[in-house]
Amino acid sequence: MDGQQIIKLFYTSGITILRDVYDCSPHDLAGGLMSLNTARKYTRLATVFFGPADSPKVQRDAVALAEARQLSVEYLEMVNKHAKKLNTRGAAWKLRAELIAHKGTLDEVNEYGKQRVTEEGCDKQKQRGVRVGRAIDGLRTISITDTQRKITDLEKTLDAAITDDDQPRSEALLEPFWDLVEGNGTGLIKPEYRTVIAIGLEDYAKVSCGKGEDVVVALSDGTTMTGAEFINAAMEGALGDKLYVGLFHPTAGPVNLYETRFASDKLRTLAMAENLVCPWPDCNVPADRCQVHHIDAHKHGGHTKPSNLTMLCKYHNGVNNDDPDGQRNKRRPGKPKRGKPNRGRIRRHRGKVRLQTPGGKLVGNTHHVSSMGAMNLI
């Protein structure tokens, strides 16, 4: 039995595993293979599927279907994560049964589960406020939840005061934060949006005519603003004194940038307009904090032109495989060279920037702001 067969066996035996776990104490499970916390997580999940329930028939039918479909423990964890948010009698087991029966990949069913919880009105929205945690090892944590505009303006103020770029960002922001709180700084900086704003021509026409109440545009600082906020920022002079117009081709990508005066950083601006956040899947670093990346490496003859440039965060710019051919082992074709792992590489496919995985799949970033970049407005 090879490794893939072993993994497949593990991932198709979720109900069988939980049935055995139900008869165990977490203290018996814990040891060299797993921590006590992990053991408790599995025993709690086993109790959900095999313990007392307010809808025993639905529970039995759902467990039988999960076993027939050979669902994994991970899948059942996901199902329970959504269902336990429903407090009405019988509603949780009804949703568990629905998600177990729903066809699709784990990620697709997970998204469907989020949607169903929202439809049931049980997905609690974040509340604005300041929360202070308890002391642990002499340290405490404070978290602030407010509108994206207020928090982003604060972030830009702190970013502007960073003096050591080599420090981890969380550490570098700490001193400017306390300077601001204690009154040693100059106060909040009113940001000018050299941050790039991506807006389609049709939406821009609506906004300009005062009819864009429902228009939402995305920014390269990772946030969005309404058409009304866009007009207010323009009237306050926060958008700067120059208007940039980017030209994008549906399949070739960015072509050129036009403005009232020539700008030396126009290629960067075009790249930011196309990818408002780092295009690597699951990354949420805004383009304002990203680096310009050559899709075809400059050292291998890649040109510095709009269609060959994109924005990548510092980490993904570092792990991107700039030399896919050099990564192969010439003595053992098909086997990667030892050393640096191959995480894949960024490439342009049908005009849009995607990650090409080592296995050849093309994957885009699903971040909500990423889907609002210039190439998605065409």
Do 113 and 7 lie in a common domain? yes
Lookup: tokens for 282: 């699951």
Quick check: is 353 in a domain? Answer: yes
Whether residue 296 has pLDDT greater than 80: yes
Whether residue 204 has pLDDT greater than 60: yes
Q: Do residues 108 and 116 lie in contact, with contact meaning Cβ atoms separated by under 8 Å?
A: no
Q: Do residues 312 and 320 lie in contact, with contact meaning Cβ atoms separated by under 8 Å?
A: yes
Give residue 263's pLDDT: 33
Do 144 and 64 lie in a common domain? no
Residues contacting residue 340 through CB under 8 Å, at least 6 positions apart: none
The one-letter code for the residue type at 170 is S
Do 359 and 278 lie in a common domain? yes
d(CA 174, CA 189): 17
Residue 260 pLDDT grade (very low, low, confident, very high; cuts 50, 70, 90): very low
Quick check: is 207 in a domain? Answer: no
d(CA 227, CA 212): 5
Q: Check residue 332 and give left, alpha or beta (phi > 0: left; psi -120 to 50: alpha).
A: beta
Residue where a domain terminates, one of 119, 141, 170: 119
Quick check: is 212 in a domain? Answer: no
Do 88 and 135 lie in a common domain? no
Q: Do residues 329 and 335 lie in contact, with contact meaning Cβ atoms separated by under 8 Å?
A: yes
Query: What is the DSSP annotation of 250-280?
Result: TTTEEEEEEESS--TTHHHHHHHHH-SB--S
d(CA 338, CA 223): 40
Do 89 and 145 lie in a common domain? no
Sign of CA dihedral 116, 118, 119, 121: positive
Assign 57 to helix, strand or coil.
helix
d(CA 96, CA 14): 15
Q: Which domain holds residue 285?
A: 268-376
Give residue 148's pLDDT: 84
Residue where a domain terminates, one of 66, 90, 119: 119
Give residue 258's pLDDT: 53
Quick check: is 325 in a domain? Answer: yes
Do 54 and 135 lie in a common domain? no
Give residue 153's pLDDT: 82
Could you give the percent of the chain with pLDDT greater than 90? 28
Do 137 and 77 lie in a common domain? no
Q: pLDDT, tens digit, for every residue of 25-42? A: 888 888 778 888 988 999
The one-letter code for the residue type at 33 is L
* Total number of domains in the chain: 3
d(CA 254, CA 133): 46
d(CA 185, CA 231): 30
Do 144 and 60 lie in a common domain? no
Residue where a domain terminates, one of 66, 85, 119: 119
Whether residue 325 has pLDDT greater than 70: no
d(CA 19, CA 77): 14
Lookup: tokens for 276: 């408002």
d(CA 174, CA 343): 32
Do 114 and 172 lie in a common domain? no
Quick check: is 217 in a domain? Answer: no
pTM: 0.57
Do 107 and 145 lie in a common domain? no
Do 277 and 344 lie in a common domain? yes
Quick check: is 243 in a domain? Answer: no
Do 22 and 115 lie in a common domain? yes
